[in-house]
Amino acid sequence: MNNQEIAIIGAGIGGLTTAIALHKKGFTNITIYERRTTATTMGAGLVLWANAVKILERLDLLDSIEEIGGKLEQMQRYTSENEFLGAINVKTINTVIGATSFSVSRADLQEVLLEKAVQLKIAIVYKQAVKKMISDTKKTTIIFETDTRITPDIVIGADGRMNSIARKYVVGDNTPIYQNFVNWIGIVELQKPTFLENNVLDFWGVGQRFGLVPINAHKAYWAGGMALPLNAPEKKGDYKKDLDSMFGSWSPKIKEIIALTPSENIKYIEVFDHNPTNVWHKDRVCLLGDAAHATLPTSGQGACQAIEDAWHFATCLATEESVETAFKSFKALRFNKTTSITMAGRNLATSLFNTDAIYCQQRNAQAKQTDYKNASQGIAQLWGSGL
Ligand SMILES: Cc1cc2nc3c(=O)[nH]c(=O)nc-3n(C[C@H](O)[C@H](O)[C@H](O)COP(=O)(O)OP(=O)(O)OC[C@H]3O[C@@H](n4cnc5c(N)ncnc54)[C@H](O)[C@@H]3O)c2cc1C
């Protein structure tokens, strides 16, 4: 199977990592088609949890991740009044899974993946947006916006959550579901060493949340979230002013970080996911990453699961006898874990963005009673499963 023509749609985290994993498994005829003009990325930063890092290590990327990443110690939770609720121990998660978790900027991660893809001579074609896919006996023809057509042996749909053409082809429907909250995300880089503790700070209010993630002493990313309908007036607001009035009184650290973040580094995102589907492939097309199982940012695992997909997809394709059985094994391996993570993300979002003050008081009281050692181990068991 190793010389089969493989087309990957999308040069995001999932598409690039899959290309690298396929190359590692001996596949050489790979082309990535990306609609953007260059490999830019949306978003500020993310945590590569130990489960994803374990895979990146297998892809010989650990050294590069160590260079760009910050080693986290705790995820501390506070109320919006700055009352400490407890902390998830990242070191426990690392120990159980057997790797280190790193916070990274998205731009840096994208660069690391791209550099590796270029080094491996993987072809990436930019400005090549897929318009449509059609069934062609047992194969699939991809039609691009430029009206050029290709009929590769294998197509990987890694075209994200918002308008995946591959998901439309495979599942029949690709409409993402708005989950009734928005995020303002930002990234800040400073001359002066400012982020001296390697702890995620997570503040919980009523229908609102603010999280701050340090990458190193000079760099951090953050997200403010709030329950809001689609197209709320905040979408067109003055973000810094809006954020300061919403979160500025929660903690001096939040006020400071909002003030220090350049306006152009702040983005407003209405947050969608997908209902889990167990249809991941059709003909010669297989979905992975967000196109297969988009999860909310509250799961903390979207990108990490795309990275896990990459490894397992490449392994299945390298070891199974046919493309069909490879696709089936891949889905069988990945469905339960990604579904559990999607549902966990939704549950946490429902709780965090609940607008009932009494509910939030009870939620916070419960959080204070949590056995965080057990909680950290529980998280590690789910995230570390099936690696
Ligand atoms: C606000 C927010 C915060 C998040 N925070 C985190 C986090 O902290 N940790 C985490 O692990 N995950 C996080 N995620 C999730 C994470 O971003 C995704 O799960 C991850 O990027 C999935 O990678 P992907 O490659 O599947 O999709 P994407 O990264 O979306 O890549 C899809 C690529 O396909 C391209 N494409 C799309 N359509 C076409 C087409 N028709 N033709 C050609 N190319 C196309 C796009 O341009 C893009 O480059 C967050 C998501 C959101 C929305």
Q: Which residue has the tokens 């050489």?
A: 28
How far, in Å, from the CA of 81 to the mean position of ligand 1? 33
> CA 76 to CA 52: how far, in whole Å?
22
**Buried/exposed code over 190-226 (b: 16+ C-beta within 10 A; e: otherwise):** eeeebbeebbbbbbbbbbbbbbbbbbbeebbbbbbbb
Three-class DSSP category at 11: coil
Domain with 366 in it: what CATH number? 3.50.50.60
- Low-confidence winner among 49-58, 122-131, 135-144 (lowest mean pLDDT): 135-144
39-48: average pLDDT: 84
The verdict on residue 193 lying in a domain is no
Q: How confident is the model at residue 38 (pLDDT cuts 50, 70, 90)?
A: confident
**Nearest atom in ligand 1 to 14's CA:** 25
pLDDT at residue 311 is higher than 70: yes
Total domains in the chain come to 1
Take atom 39 of ligand 1 and give the residue whose Cα is closest.
Answer: 159
301-308: average pLDDT: 98
User: Which is nearest to 167 in space by CA: 306, 282, 303?
Assistant: 282
The verdict on residue 214 lying in a domain is no
Q: What is the pLDDT of residue 3?
A: 84
Per-residue model confidence as pLDDT tens digits over 151-195: 999 999 999 999 999 999 999 999 999 999 999 999 999 999 999
pTM over 0.85: yes
| DSSP 8-state code for residue 236 | G
342-366: average pLDDT: 98
Task: For residue 107, count CB atoms less than 10 angstroms from its CB and return exposed for 0-12, middle for 13-18, buried for 19 or more.
Answer: middle
Take atom 2 of ligand 1 and give the residue whose Cα is closest.
Answer: 297
Q: What are phi and psi of 27, to 5 degrees?
A: -85, 135
18-36: average pLDDT: 97
User: Which is nearest to 216 in space by CA: 69, 350, 116?
Assistant: 69
Measuring from each residue's beta carbon to the nearest atom of ligand 1, which residues come in under 6 Å?
A: 9-15, 33-36, 43, 46-47, 129-130, 158-160, 165, 183, 185, 269, 271, 289-291, 297, 300-304, 306
Cα end-to-end span (Å), the chain: 24
CA-CA distances (angstroms) from residue 236 to 6, 99, 187, 215? 41, 42, 20, 29
Per-residue model confidence as pLDDT tens digits over 71-86: 999 999 999 999 999 9
Per-residue model confidence as pLDDT tens digits over 273-288: 999 999 999 999 999 9
106-112: average pLDDT: 96
Q: Which domain holds residue 350?
A: 6-176+273-384
Percent with pLDDT over 70 in the chain? 99
Q: What is the pLDDT of residue 138?
A: 76
The verdict on residue 358 lying in a domain is yes
Contacts of 249 (CB under 8 A, 6+ apart): 255
Take atom 4 of ligand 1 and give the residue whose Cα is closest.
Answer: 297
Average pLDDT over all residues of the chain: 96
> CA 215 to CA 200: how far, in whole Å?
10
| DSSP 8-state code for residue 19 | H
> CA 32 to CA 214: how far, in whole Å?
32
CA-CA distances (angstroms) from residue 69 to 47, 61, 260, 358? 9, 12, 21, 39
The verdict on residue 377 lying in a domain is yes
**Nearest atom in ligand 1 to 41's CA:** 49
The verdict on residue 170 lying in a domain is yes
Q: In what order do the strands lie in the sheet with 45-48?
A: 45-48, 102-105, 70-71
> CA 304 to CA 17: how far, in whole Å?
11
pLDDT at residue 42 is higher than 70: no
The verdict on residue 159 lying in a domain is yes
Q: How confident is the model at residue 2 (pLDDT cuts 50, 70, 90)?
A: confident
How far, in Å, from the CA of 12 to the mean position of ligand 1? 6
The verdict on residue 258 lying in a domain is no
- Low-confidence winner among 1-5, 261-265, 321-325, 376-380 (lowest mean pLDDT): 1-5
User: Which is nearest to 216 in space by CA: 198, 229, 204, 238?
Assistant: 198
Q: Mind giving me the DSSP string for 352-374? A: HT---HHHHHHHHHHHHH--HHH
The verdict on residue 204 lying in a domain is no
For a ligand 1 pocket test, name from 13, 169, 298, 308 the mutation site with the most ligand atoms within 8 angstroms of its C-beta: 13
Q: Mind giving me the DSSP string for 284-338? A: TEEE-THHHH---GGGS-HHHHHHHHHHHHHHHHHHSSSHHHHHHHHHHHHHHHH
Q: What are the start-end ranges of the E strands in the chain?
A: 6-9, 30-33, 45-48, 70-71, 74-79, 84-89, 102-105, 123-125, 130-136, 139-144, 149-150, 154-157, 177-189, 199-204, 208-216, 219-227, 266-273, 281-282, 285-287
Q: How confident is the model at residue 1 (pLDDT cuts 50, 70, 90)?
A: low
211-229: average pLDDT: 98
Q: Which residue has the tokens 């090549």?
A: 128
For a ligand 1 pocket test, name from 31, 159, 164, 307 the mutation site with the most ligand atoms within 8 angstroms of its C-beta: 159
Q: What is the pLDDT of residue 92?
A: 96
